[in-house]
Amino acid sequence: EAGVAQSPRYKIIEKRQSVAFWCNPISGHATLYWYQQILGQGPKLLIQFQNNGVVDDSQLPKDRFSAERLKGVDSTLKIQPAKLEDSAVYLCASTLRPTSGRARETQYFGPGTRLLVL
Amino acid sequence: GIQVEQSPPDLILQEGANSTLRCNFSDSVNNLQWFHQNPWGQLINLFYIPSGTKQNGRLSATTVATERYSLLYISSSQTTDSGVYFCAVSFGNEKLTFGTGTRLTIIP
């Protein structure tokens, strides 16, 4: 089966510009996660969707970050405007079953999008 | 929130050597997962192991939940084992919290 797909793989922008990332989870996976991984650190959850509803967005900087999963399949994460500290790898992951907020299922990760903000 | 500490932060070994990676966590958990992030950034789930012991080929993991730690064993290391190993934990409905990882370098 195909894995989690993400695009673009790399993006370089200037501060105050906007950027969007796309994720297509494994077919049939109900739960989708966006993580931010800053160099030298572990991934940090930004937002979790179950089908097309938000389960957890407590760590999403909502003044500049937004995400949607309109049809319960693929998802888009947007940053507007970008800051220097947003430079990181943005990882998308998915799990098969609805988790009702519990992260006990094995998470399958995409290859990530490397963002550099100059 | 739960604190996750991993040790050692860096490990350099000769091919064929064995290694033990440790994950300590600050509170009760009912979900613990080990991941490998390869040099190209891809994260792969190795084990879901909130308690007990599991083995998969040259890798095995043990979690002692009552003592709040987990160990990942890698035997007969290969260069393809290089990368960063992360432990991630959660309890109840909480999100997974990742540690800062152990960077493993296997030298041919």
CA–CA separation, B13 and B85 (whole Å): 15
Q: What is the average per-residue pLDDT within B12-35?
A: 95
> Å from A102 to nearest chain B CA?
4
CA–CA separation, A75 and A52 (whole Å): 9
DSSP conformation class of B94: P
Q: Which residue of B has its CA nearest to A41?
A: B100
Q: Is A24 helix (H, G, I), strand (E, B) or coil?
A: strand
Q: Write the residue in A48, A102, A109 that is nearest to B43 by C-beta.
A: A109
pLDDT by residue, tens only, chain A of 118 residues: 679 999 999 999 999 999 999 999 999 898 999 999 999 999 999 999 988 899 999 999 999 999 999 888 999 999 999 999 999 999 999 988 765 544 457 789 999 999 999 9
Q: List C-alpha distances in Å: A101 to B51, B89, B93, B106.
A: 21, 14, 5, 37
Alpha carbon A56 to its chain centroid, in Å, reads 12
Rounded (5°) CA angle A35-B85-B2:
60
CA–CA separation, A86 and A36 (whole Å): 9
Ramachandran bin of B92, using left for φ above 0, alpha for ψ from -120 to 50, beta for the remaining angles: left
DSSP conformation class of A85: G
Phi, psi of A11 (to 5 degrees): -150, 130
Chain B residues within 8 A of A103 when measuring between CB atoms: 31, 90, 94-96
The residue among B89, B62, B65, B70 whose CA lies nearest residue B23 is B70
